[in-house]
Amino acid sequence: MVKKIIKITAIVFIIVAGLSAVGFFGYPYYAGWRVKHFFAERKQFFVRDAKESRGGDTPMETYKAAREALKNNDIETALSYFFVDDREKYREIFSDPEAIQRYLKMPDELKEDYTTVCEGEAFACLERANYYYEYEVAGERKEYDLGDGYIAVSEPGIYKSPTSFIKNLADKWQIEEL
């Protein structure tokens, strides 16, 4: 009887130890698999959108097409040239006709600042490009009280206004920030 209890205890101990070892050593592999699976699912969203949305072969082609849609007051077409993560923000901005007019006052051509390869967590982006246009602030130096101790300063000079683009997973350039 004692031998039987020892044998059952040994079997239970071996089973518990074996399951603990599988859990201890197997969990990191499972966790890695889950992370990889999560990112693969998340990337599919961006792949579908990249195929369905509009974009140009160059950042300037995209910029000009979006401006043309805005000139024609075709907001949805203009938004389709924006990167998916930024569309709702610009949908809200473009709901104001005055905002559209401000964007249409931007020049027809932008100057290229730089282009770089996307890295790290930017798995929905192949490349990133920054363009800009210059504008001049004339007159005297002015200070504006923004409240809470903050003061804005308007200095005369020439300034750059940036526009950023992303090359999406369908190899099309889209506007990230206008």
How do residues 142-173 score in pLDDT, each as one tens digit? 888 888 888 888 889 999 999 999 999 889 99
pTM given for the model: 0.72
Shared domain for 99 and 23, answered yes or no, is no
The tally of CA atoms less than 13 A away on the side-chain side of residue 146 is 7
Shared domain for 37 and 91, answered yes or no, is no
Number of structural domains in the chain: 2
| C-alpha to C-alpha distance for 70 and 82, rounded to whole angstroms | 12
Shared domain for 113 and 167, answered yes or no, is yes
Shared domain for 44 and 82, answered yes or no, is no
Assess whether pLDDT exceeds 70 at residue 105: yes
pLDDT tens-digit readout, 41-100: 777 777 788 788 899 999 999 999 999 999 999 999 999 999 998 999 999 999 999 999
Assess whether pLDDT exceeds 70 at residue 22: no
Shared domain for 24 and 71, answered yes or no, is no
CA pseudo-torsion sign 146, 151, 156, 160: negative
pLDDT score of 152: 84
Of 14, 33, 52, which residue constitutes the final position of a domain?
52
Assess whether pLDDT exceeds 90 at residue 34: no
Shared domain for 34 and 93, answered yes or no, is no
Shared domain for 69 and 81, answered yes or no, is yes
Where does the pLDDT of residue 29 fall: very low under 50, low under 70, confident under 90, or very high at 90 and above? low
For tokens 């709702």, name the residue: 88
The encoded tokens of residue 10 equal 């040994």
Q: By residue range, what is the domain housing residue 38? A: 1-52
Range 1-8 average pLDDT: 76
Shared domain for 13 and 77, answered yes or no, is no
pLDDT score of 25: 66
Range 97-116 average pLDDT: 94
For tokens 């907001």, name the residue: 75
Assess whether pLDDT exceeds 70 at residue 15: yes
Q: Tell how far CA 88 is from the center of its chain.
A: 12
78 CB-near residues (< 8 Å, 6+ apart): 66, 67, 69, 70, 90, 94
Smallest CA-to-CA distance from 66 within 85, 49, 53 is with 53
Shared domain for 113 and 164, answered yes or no, is yes
The phi-psi region of residue 91 (left if phi > 0; otherwise alpha if psi is between -120 and 50; otherwise beta) is alpha
Shared domain for 69 and 149, answered yes or no, is yes
Shared domain for 119 and 160, answered yes or no, is yes
Shared domain for 153 and 115, answered yes or no, is yes
